Structure 1
Amino acid sequence: MITLVLVDDAGAPLGALPPFEVPEPWWQQVGAIVGGVRHHHGVDVAVLRLLAADRPEPPGGHLTYLGQVTTPPAVPLEPVSVDLSPHPLRAPWAQPGGPARSLAWAAGELHRLGRPVTATAQHRTWNLSAIWRLDGEHGSAWLKQVPGFFRHEAAVLRWLATTVPGTAPALLAADDTGRILLDHVPGEDRYAADDAERAAIAADHHVLQLRAVDHADALVAAGVPDLRGPALAAWIRRWLAPHDVSVVADLLADLDERLDQVRDCGLPDTLVHGDLHPGNVRGDGRRQAVIDWADSFVGHPAFDILRLTETLAPSAAAPLLDAWAARWRADLPGSDPERAVDLLRPVAPLRLAAVYAMFLAGIEPSEHPYHAADVPACLGRAAAEADRVCLPD
């Protein structure tokens, strides 16, 4: 159930539309909200941000969003009392006028490229990104706007286009505010990928990571986060400091020693996608591209294979992990990829807990339900993995 509170172009409150249902339970997916308002009320709306949720975490529930309209709808609006005061952590796209400014930038860039825009559609809006599709006679493009801690995505896409072309969406334009303009990749996101497709994803990704080894310093210089060795331990402790980490106290105490032992396994640091699940791979059976490089960093390659196999049963994950280890051992004789994976099993969810803690530190309170439950959940997984995989003597 959706309640949409409307403001005008100046940000003045107008009231709320009657509540309505949408088919998608995922809070950040707002395309159905925009379509529902257009269908029922004949008005175009830009969804700005989440105001409230009646449950502590997604998906589903009764959600209240803020939306902006140029022309108020004909239907009577319900008076509402909401806090619309500014907040220092509010994203540019979550403010009145923000979507219009970003769309104008994207349309201008596409016009410069000889691809004038004839239609736009809002797909996603939340604390991590705003995503719009822009269509024209010369094809479609995607506008993505991200917060400051994700702005290195443009640098990664430039590097990929130069060094391993075709492995990611083509970057058409970018600015220094977190806006990037991407060419359309045909197909669908591969959430339903089977074991064979995951194996192919892992094999392709190995080629990319092997190429990136010699470029690690250049990627860091371009702004990609440096989470190599001791830097990873310091980064994790920094973001988890405000949270209750008692469940992983021993893991944190031994983290530097564990990462030293990982380094001794002989695998190099490289470009890590950071969220390599099948839903972040898009393809049509002929072409496959890895999307959403916002979580990327320079660090240990095992983090990506652990993410790719995270939801699989051990019997299904084992062949993918064995193949991953065999590739690295063939390229680096004398290395011990299996031991590196075992050592990093508890570190992978620990790092994710720190990622979610970083998100929480960078968003306004109304958006905390997006991620608040993720920190303790990841800490619990890290503790369970640490109990199963003890630090070698």
Structure 2
Amino acid sequence: MDDRRWRDPEWLAQVRDWIDGRLDELGVQRNGPAVQPHVYPWSTVLRVPTDRGDVWFKANTDSLRHEAGVVQRIAARRPDVVPPLLAADTAAGWLLMADAGETLRVVTQREHSLDRWRDVLPLYAGVQLDLAGDVDDLLALGLPDRRLATLPDAYARIVDEVGAEQRFRDAVPMVAELCAELAEYGLPELLQHDDLHDAQVFVRDGRHLVLDWGDACVSHPFFTLSVTLEGGLAWGLDDVLDSVDTAPFRDAYLAPYAERFTGDLVAATRVALRLGWVCRAVNGQVPGYDKQTLTRLRMFLDGRP
């Protein structure tokens, strides 16, 4: 996998024609050349200056093409949580969106506070719950199925694929046991971002917006917390492991669930935090990037990178 396709002049010309066509339909004029600030093997982004401010185009590789349909569905159900969606081509996997503002990473460093996460997490949980009726449609769009029933076999495949050491192979029965334990809590399996950190959340005009749904899947919803809590918030503003008590952030996330479901949600979270790294390892595996997958597998077994 490489990024040459995104730099192809013919492809870029096609994209610019599509962007100009969509802007024309909206009565918006491009007033400068598009620039390409982000190019990765799996996606690219173009910033397009217009007479109404910058807009952003995104294209994904085939395996992440579903993002356009996911964002379209979120924009219809919860337009308060994504930037205004200006256009989408779900067949091509293309998106055109209004500017989202600053990343939460920039804002929290400037404010020297993580408190905004107490608002972001229940907002995001509300999206999961509000799209509960869309799960079948999301799967039909191509969203990966990472529900509990799929994880033991998927885990066994991924440890072989990346050549993980024997102790990870020996953990296959443990994955199955944890999946069975988590299923007993009876929570629905929903849309799950799977990479929710402070560079995926933006702040504009006082609103918190969640972007980059390309890694989203259908899974146990609490799997989100592995990356968000253990992979992010636990490290604090100064990147020191376990320097922050994540319990208040966990509880903020759980609050919308507590209004609808009984049972020990905190106990369910403890199981989900471990299994969430299995989901992330399986769902986020990119050929040639085995090191990231091995780190996620260590987070599952060891609780440390």
TM-score bin (small chain): 0.7 to 0.9
Query: Which residue in 1 is equivalent to 2:258?
Result: 329
RMSD: 2.3
Match of 2:104 among 187, 190, 210: 190
The aligned residue for residue 295 of structure 2 is 377
- Structure 2 equivalent of residue 98 of structure 1: 11
Q: Deviations over 1:92-112 (max 9, x none)?
A: 314343323222222222122
Could you tell me which residue of structure 2 aligns to residue 169 of structure 1?
83
Alpha-carbon distance between aligned partners in 2 of 1:146 and 1:91, rounded to the nearest angstrom: 13
* Aligned CA distance change for structure 1 residues 148 and 237 (closer, same or farther; 3 Å): farther
- Greater shift, 264-273 or 223-232, is seen at 223-232
Aligned length, in residue pairs: 287
What CA distance in whole angstroms lies between the structure 2 residues aligned with 1:285 and 1:114?
23
Instruction: Confirm whether residue 339 of structure 1 aligns to residue 267 of structure 2.
Output: yes
Q: Distance in 1 between matches of 2:205 and 2:19?
A: 29
Whose radius of gyration is greater, 1 or 2? Answer: 1
1:122 aligns with 2:36: yes
Q: How big is the shift at 1:153?
A: 0.8
Equivalent-residue separation in structure 1 for 2:264 and 2:243 (angstroms): 20
Q: Which residue in 2 is equivalent to 1:44?
A: none
Q: 1:105 to 1:92 in 2, by over 3 A?
A: farther
Alpha-carbon spacing, 1:237–1:169, altered in 2? closer, same or farther (3 Å): farther
Aligned pair partner of 1:228 in 139, 147, 158: 147
Task: Select which of 35, 57, 66 maps to 1:143.
Answer: 57
Q: CA deviation at 1:144?
A: 0.7
CA distance in 2, matches of 1:229, 1:314: 31
Cα offset, 1:211, TM superposition? 1.1
Residues 210 and 355 of structure 1, relative CA distance in 2, 3 Å threshold:
closer
Shift of 1:134: 0.6
The answer for the alignment partner of 1:283 in structure 2 is 203
The change in CA–CA distance for 1:289 and 1:325 in structure 2 (over 3 A counts) is closer
User: Aligned in 2, Cα 1:171/1:339: closer, same or farther, shift over 3 Å?
Assistant: same
1:258 corresponds to 2:162 = no
Unaligned segments of structure 1, at least 5 residues: 1-87, 361-367, 387-393
Distance (whole Å) between structure 2 residues aligned to residue 196 and residue 107 of structure 1 = 40
SS at match of 1:142: strand
Give the direction of change, closer, same or farther, for the CA distance of 1:258–1:145 in structure 2 (3 Å limit): same
The TM-score normalised by the length of structure 2 is 0.85
Q: What TM-score, normalized to structure 1?
A: 0.67
For structure 2, the 5+ residue unaligned runs are 235-241
Specify which structure has the bigger relative contact order, considering alpha-carbon pairs within 8 angstroms and separated by 6 or more residues: 2
- Aligned residue for 1:298, secondary structure, equals strand
Q: Partner of 1:204 in structure 2?
A: 123
Change (3 A) 1:317 1:98: same
